Structure 1
Amino acid sequence: MSQPREITHGATYMITRRVLRRHLLFRPDAAITQLLIYALVVAARRYGLQVHALCAMSTHLHLIVTDVTGVLPRFLQFFHRIVALGTKVLRTWEGPVWDHEAPSVVRLLTRAAMVEKIAYVLANPVAAGLVRHAREWPGAKVDVDELGRGMLRAARPSVYLDPENPLWPDEVTLPLSLPPAIEQDSAEGFLQEVAAELGRQEAQAHAEMQQHGRCFLGAKRASKISPYERATSFEALRERNPIFAVGREQGDAWRIAGAAVRAFRASYRAALEQWHIGVRSVVFPAGTWWMRTFHGARVMDGVLMV
């Protein structure tokens, strides 16, 4: 049985999902970029999510979003389905697009975590040895100077989506926002922190490339590689699947967050045991999503989780 996951109104997350067997299906060409941005905007508008950062690598996709109304599972199901079906058509691909593992969903609990993870998403092409600077990546992405002030915009792709269906308008737009936890009067300072962290991560990637005697692939070559090839670089198997991040040097924040997760899980399991023996009046902890959505279970005031 998988661990229950709390779904909370207004929570900010870093979401990562990988392509099956590290195939390069999201190679950064114009068609796949259009599909990814269009699907993201439609899904975010449909479920009321705010989008803060995005980077589509050839083998995986990173997002930073805020789930305003506590419907993250619905958003992910819809968005990932449209991306997969559109990709299958664009790439004439048989079989699954996504890796069999569930998406990585990491809740960002502090300002430091938001700074670090947004910079991490933007710096991903540099850390992977593809381009020297994040702004050079030709795929679907948000540049550092677009954070909180840019706009995602895409025309409807010519494949898969029915132009007669009102669900798929000719063009969609979505303004990029900063996480709600970043107060308006501290926005400029936050953006400076992200830019500084991005610079730090880029410099670290440059040093590692030099240490190993490697050269950056370059945007042009990255855009022309076959989408049917597989990444051959070493990637350690994921031993842990974190569900929250607090950032570096945050004192007791990690311990407090861990205790809260354990308390939620214990309360959820106790309620589930009562449910299994027929006690339908049992109340699940705030943040319970699956049991409320699919079984009508009672939940404490607040939000739910799976």
Structure 2
Amino acid sequence: MSQPREIAPGATYLLTRRVLRRHLLLRPDAAINQLLVYALAVSARRYGVEVHALCAMSTHLHLVVTDVQGVLPRFLQFFHRIMALGTKVLRKWEGPVWDHEATSVVRLLTQAAVVEKIAYVLANPVSAGLVRHAKEWPGAKVDVVELGRGALHATRPSAYLDPENPQWTEEATLPLALPPGIDQENAEAFRCQVAAELERLETQALAELERQGLRFMGAERASKVSPYERATSFEGLRERNPTFAVGRDQGDARRTAAAAVHAFRASYRAALERWRAGVRSVLFPVGTWWMRTFHGASVNDVVTPTWIAPT
């Protein structure tokens, strides 16, 4: 049984979803880019999710978002379904698109964590040895200069989506929002922090490729590989699936965050035991989503802090 997860309105996350068996189904071409931007724009608007950064690799997808209304599971279900069904049509693919493992959901609890994870997302094509600089990647992505002030646009894909259905508008726009706690006055400083971290990751990736005697594949080759092939680079077993991130040099923030996770899980399990015993008046801890949504359980609505200040 999976661990219970707190779904808190206003929380910011790094989201990662992988393609089945590392097939290159999301190979960066115009059709997939159009589908992804359109599906993400429609899904984000439907569920009030703010998108801060994204990068679509051939085998997986990274997003950094803020779940304003506390409906992250609904958003993920809707978005991933559109992407899967649209991809099956575009690629003439039979069977599942997404890996059997659940979406990786990492809550970002400090501004340092947001900076580091956005840079990590943008640097993915460089770290994978595909392009020398993140801005060269031909897949759907966000550039540093667009953070908090740009927007992505897409017309409705002709594959899968019914033009007669009013929910599939002819065009969709995905505004790129600033993360919580960052206003327009310090937006440029925030972008500079991300740019500096991105440069560090790019330099690190270049040094690693040189150490191994390898070369970057290049954007043109990456966009022409067969989507039915599978990635051949080594990838270790994903033994860890972190719940949260606080960033480097954040004092006791990690300990504080871990204590909060343990407290939520303990409170949830205690409430669940009473529920199973037939006590329907039991109060589940704030952030309980599944029991409230599917069983009508009562949930504590006391607002908890979204961010942890470093100490």
Q: Same fold (TM over 0.5)?
A: yes
User: Which residue pairs with 2:307 in the alignment?
Assistant: none
Distance in structure 1 (CA, Å) of the matches to 2:235 and 2:37 = 27
Return the TM-score normalized by structure 1. Answer: 0.98
The structural deviation recorded for 1:184 is: 3.4
Task: Report SS of the residue matched to 1:224.
Answer: coil
User: Which residue pairs with 1:195 in the alignment?
Assistant: 195
User: Which residue pairs with 1:264 in the alignment?
Assistant: 264
Distance in structure 2 (CA, Å) of the matches to 1:168 and 1:270 = 43
Question: Does the aligned pair in 2 maintain the 1:7–1:303 contact within 8 Å?
Answer: no
Distance in structure 2 (CA, Å) of the matches to 1:145 and 1:127 = 20
The structural deviation recorded for 1:301 is: 1.3
Return the TM-score normalized by structure 2. Answer: 0.97
- Are residue 127 (structure 1) and residue 127 (structure 2) matched? yes
**Over 6 Å off, 4+ runs:** none
Question: Does the aligned pair in 1 maintain the 2:40–2:174 contact within 8 Å?
Answer: no
Distance in structure 1 (CA, Å) of the matches to 2:248 and 2:67 = 24
User: Which residue pairs with 1:116 in the alignment?
Assistant: 116
Distance in structure 2 (CA, Å) of the matches to 1:223 and 1:180 = 34
- Are residue 240 (structure 1) and residue 208 (structure 2) matched? no
Distance in structure 1 (CA, Å) of the matches to 2:35 and 2:276 = 43
Distance in structure 2 (CA, Å) of the matches to 1:115 and 1:302 = 28
Distance in structure 2 (CA, Å) of the matches to 1:88 and 1:186 = 42
User: Which residue pairs with 1:15 in the alignment?
Assistant: 15
User: Which residue pairs with 1:27 in the alignment?
Assistant: 27
The structural deviation recorded for 1:181 is: 2.1
**How many residue pairs are counted as aligned between the two chains?**
304
Distance in structure 1 (CA, Å) of the matches to 2:184 and 2:219 = 35
Distance in structure 2 (CA, Å) of the matches to 1:181 and 1:301 = 22
Distance in structure 2 (CA, Å) of the matches to 1:111 and 1:182 = 9
Question: Does the aligned pair in 1 maintain the 2:37–2:174 contact within 8 Å?
Answer: no
Distance in structure 2 (CA, Å) of the matches to 1:58 and 1:207 = 23
Distance in structure 1 (CA, Å) of the matches to 2:291 and 2:48 = 22
What is the root-mean-square deviation in Å for CA atoms of aligned residues?
1.0
1:171-221 CA distances to partner (integer Å, 9 max, x unpaired)? 011211110122333222111100000000000000001110000000000
Distance in structure 1 (CA, Å) of the matches to 2:89 and 2:301 = 44
User: Which residue pairs with 1:249 in the alignment?
Assistant: 249
Distance in structure 2 (CA, Å) of the matches to 1:191 and 1:146 = 9
- Are residue 164 (structure 1) and residue 159 (structure 2) matched? no
Question: Does the aligned pair in 2 maintain the 1:53–1:121 contact within 8 Å?
Answer: yes
User: Which residue pairs with 1:71 in the alignment?
Assistant: 71
Question: Where in structure 1 are there 5+ consecutive unaligned residues?
Answer: none
Task: Report SS of the residue matched to 1:198.
Answer: helix
Question: Where in structure 2 are there 5+ consecutive unaligned residues?
Answer: 305-311
- Are residue 145 (structure 1) and residue 151 (structure 2) matched? no
Distance in structure 1 (CA, Å) of the matches to 2:9 and 2:100 = 27
Percent of residue pairs bearing the same amino acid type: 78
User: Which residue pairs with 2:46 in the alignment?
Assistant: 46
